[in-house]
Structure formats: structure tokens, C-alpha cells
Amino acid sequence: MMEKKIVIQNETGIHARPAGIIVKEAAKFKSAITIEKAGKEYNAKSIMSLMTMAAKKGEEIVIKANGEDEAQAIEALTNLILNGLE
């Protein structure tokens, strides 16, 4: 299992649209992927789960992946959340 800690950068945080983008990216990987915020884990392949997480700008999250492509998954999602959600 791999994990990475990041801070949400985009102004509006993870709302419906960004959540949809993350889910589509996460679905490309075989690994189980979760995002942890404030001690609670959310499924990165579930739009409803991510929406209820409601992460805001400046909040810290941990991306966790477990599976054969975990390294690629972590890299792709970190990149997306830090740069690709505007």
C-alpha cells in the first residue's frame, strides 16, 4: 500500500464537478483507492462518497492506493487534485 499527504489547492474545494473528475480518473486504475480526511476514509471511485467528504481549500487529505498499479494511481491523482481541478 502507498499513500501521500497533500493540501487541497483549488479555490472551490472538492464539489460535485471536481468529484466527478476524480472518480473518472480513479476508475482507470485497478488498485483500491481511498482518500482520508480528518480520520475518515472515502472511496475515490465513488462520486457520492467524495461529495460527502466536501474537502475545502487548505484542508489536508491523504490519498491511499492498494494494488498492482498503486504507484501510478497515487501519482495521477496527486497531480490531478493539485493541478487539474480548476
Partner 1 sequence: MLKGIAASSGVAIGKALVIVDKEVEIERRTIENVEAETTKLQNAVATAKEQLEKIKEIAREKIGEDKAQVFEAHLMMLEDPEFIGAVEAQISAESICAEYALKQTADMFISMFESMDNEYMRERAADIRDVSKRIINILMGIETASIAEIDRECIIVINDLTPSDTAQMDKEKVLGFATDIGGRTSHSAIMARSLEIPAVVGLSNVTTTVKTGDMLILDGDEGVVIVNPDEETLQKYREKQQKLIEYKKELSKLVNAESITVDGRKVELAANIGTPSNVEGALKNGAEGVGLFRTEFLYMDKDSLPTEEEQFEAYKAVLEGMEGRPVVIRTLDIGGDKKLPYLKIDEEMNPFLGYRAIRLCLDRKDIFKTQLRALFRASVYGNLKIMFPMISGIEELRQAKAVVEEVKNELKVEGIAYSNDVEIGIMIEIPSAAIVSDILAKEVDFFSIGTNDLIQYTVAVDRMNEKISYLYDPFHPAVLRLIKMVIDNAHKEGKWAGMCGEMAGDERIIPVLLGFGLDEFSMSASSILKARKLITSLNYEEAKKLADEVVMCATSEEIKSKIQNFVNR
Active site residues: 15
Residues that bind partner 1 (CB under 8 A): 10-13, 15-16, 20, 23, 43, 45-49, 51-52, 54, 56-57, 86
Q: Are 56 and 45 in contact (CB under 8 A)?
A: no
Q: Are 35 and 64 in contact (CB under 8 A)?
A: yes
Cβ at position 50, least distance to partner 1 in Å: 9
Cβ at position 11, least distance to partner 1 in Å: 5
Looking at the Cβ atoms of 5 and 24, the one nearer to partner 1 is 24
Q: Which three cell numbers stand for residue 54?
A: 466536501
Q: Which three cell numbers stand for residue 59?
A: 484542508
